């Protein structure tokens, strides 16, 4: 990233985030484990026979608890096969190892499978409707907190998109960082939104790397905007979570599943340590 672009990002940080400080959906009767001790939360690693990814947000239907990942995390295609309307995937019910869980979860929904069943072919949807849910074992539900590490939130679901040059916040957890957590928090900007809202092209510090796929992305107010879908030298593609959830509701039996709000305040002033 050029020095000029870096200065733009830093400028946005100190001029546009103050209004979001301290927003929190915390509740005294929260059903979730305390954030400080929860072993399952956004940012943990999920591992399947296809490889390792970073979990995004926590979801629930009021009875069962799910954690999100990218659909391509269970692909059986090659690393350059990004068209979810054509690329095969592991079947629903596949065991998924979730960091911090005592038992494997199971693949409960995969947008790639849903799109193929529906015969979809629209380019933007096929690439950026990249969302899956892992159903956690009941024994692990008490170990979950939905707050995003470092940043806090999500406050709610972003249902309206974001303007160009909006700030975004994320947390990657690729094993390629060898446990160096100061490299996990990310701050960036949305460059533009494409494909009718499916894709928010973005730049971040530090860039996403393999293993960060599926990471949670928050908007400037701490709302859940999307998940990291594609990696590129010139930017990352963030799939729009609201559109992905709408698709899931229309094409699966999980229509009652909703985003779980974080218990920790969204705090965009906690800058990444590597910035």
Q: Domain boundary residue among 102, 118, 143?
A: 143
Asked if the model's pLDDT at residue 252 lies above 50, the reply is yes
Q: Residue 208 has what pLDDT?
A: 64
Look at residue 93 and tell me if it is in a domain.
yes
Q: Domain boundary residue among 113, 143, 173?
A: 143
Q: Residue 5 has what pLDDT?
A: 40
Q: Residue 180 has what pLDDT?
A: 54
| pLDDT per residue as tens digits for the range 109-158 | 999 999 999 999 999 999 999 999 999 999 999 999 999 999 999 999 99
How confident is residue 22, by pLDDT bands cut at 50, 70 and 90?
A: very low
CA distances for 196 relative to 68, 143, 243, angstroms: 23, 37, 10
In terms of pLDDT, which residue wins out, 32 or 25? 32
Look at residue 73 and tell me if it is in a domain.
yes
Are both 106 and 57 inside the same structural domain? yes
How confident is residue 214, by pLDDT bands cut at 50, 70 and 90?
A: very high
Are both 128 and 170 inside the same structural domain? no
Look at residue 273 and tell me if it is in a domain.
no
Predicted TM-score (pTM) of the model is 0.87
Are both 193 and 213 inside the same structural domain? yes
Three-state DSSP class for 104? coil
Q: Residue 213 has what pLDDT?
A: 87
d(CA 237, CA 226): 10
The partner residues of 67 in beta bridges, in order of sequence, read 58, 134
Give the structural domain span for 170.
3-24+151-241
Angle made by CA atoms 53, 148, 176, in degrees to the nearest 5: 35
How confident is residue 232, by pLDDT bands cut at 50, 70 and 90?
A: confident
As a whole number, mean pLDDT of residues 14-18 equals: 36
Are both 137 and 52 inside the same structural domain? yes
Q: Residue 89 has what pLDDT?
A: 97
Are both 179 and 112 inside the same structural domain? no
Are both 19 and 71 inside the same structural domain? no
Are both 122 and 200 inside the same structural domain? no
Q: Residue 261 has what pLDDT?
A: 98
Are both 106 and 75 inside the same structural domain? yes
Q: Domain boundary residue among 143, 165, 200?
A: 143
| pLDDT per residue as tens digits for the range 90-120 | 999 999 999 999 999 999 999 999 999 999 9
Q: Are 226 and 160 in contact (CB under 8 A)?
A: no
Q: Residue 7 has what pLDDT?
A: 39
How confident is the prediction for the chain on average, in pLDDT?
87
Percent of the chain with pLDDT over 90: 73
| DSSP code per residue over 186-216 | EEEEEEEEEGGGTEEEEEEESPP-TT-TT-E
Asked if the model's pLDDT at residue 76 lies above 70, the reply is yes
Three-state DSSP class for 91? coil
Q: Residue 23 has what pLDDT?
A: 38
Q: What is the number of domains present in the chain?
A: 2
Q: Residue 4 has what pLDDT?
A: 39
Asked if the model's pLDDT at residue 175 lies above 60, the reply is no
As a whole number, mean pLDDT of residues 52-67 equals: 96
Are both 15 and 98 inside the same structural domain? no
């Amino acid at each position: 990233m050029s020095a000029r672009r870096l200065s733009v990002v830093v400028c946005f940080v100190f001029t546009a985030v103050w209004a979001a400080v301290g927003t929190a959906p915390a509740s005294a009767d929260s059903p979730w484990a305390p954030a400080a001790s929860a072993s399952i939360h956004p940012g943990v690693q999920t591992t399947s026979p296809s490889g390792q990814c970073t979990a995004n947000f926590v979801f629930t239907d009021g009875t069962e608890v799910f954690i999100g990942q990218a659909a391509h995390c269970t692909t059986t295609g090659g690393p350059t096969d990004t068209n979810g309307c054509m690329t095969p995937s592991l079947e629903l019910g596949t065991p998924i190892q979730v960091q911090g869980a005592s038992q494997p979860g199971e693949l409960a929904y995969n947008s790639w499978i849903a799109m193929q069943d529906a015969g979809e072919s629209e380019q933007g949807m096929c690439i950026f409707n990249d969302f899956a849910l892992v159903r956690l074992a009941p024994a692990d539900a008490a170990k979950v907190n939905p707050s995003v590490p470092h940043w806090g939130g999500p406050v709610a679901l972003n249902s309206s998109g974001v303007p160009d040059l909006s700030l975004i916040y994320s947390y990657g957890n690729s094993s390629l960082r060898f446990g160096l957590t100061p490299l996990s928090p990310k701050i960036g900007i949305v460059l533009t939104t494409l494909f009718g809202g499916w894709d928010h092209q973005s730049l971040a510090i530090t860039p996403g790397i393999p293993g960060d796929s599926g990471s949670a992305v928050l908007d400037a107010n701490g709302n859940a905007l999307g998940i990291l879908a594609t990696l590129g030298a010139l930017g990352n593609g963030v799939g729009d979570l609201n559109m992905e959830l709408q698709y899931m509701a229309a094409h699966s039996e999980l229509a009652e599943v909703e985003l779980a709000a974080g218990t920790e305040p969204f705090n965009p002033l906690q800058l990444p340590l590597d910035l």
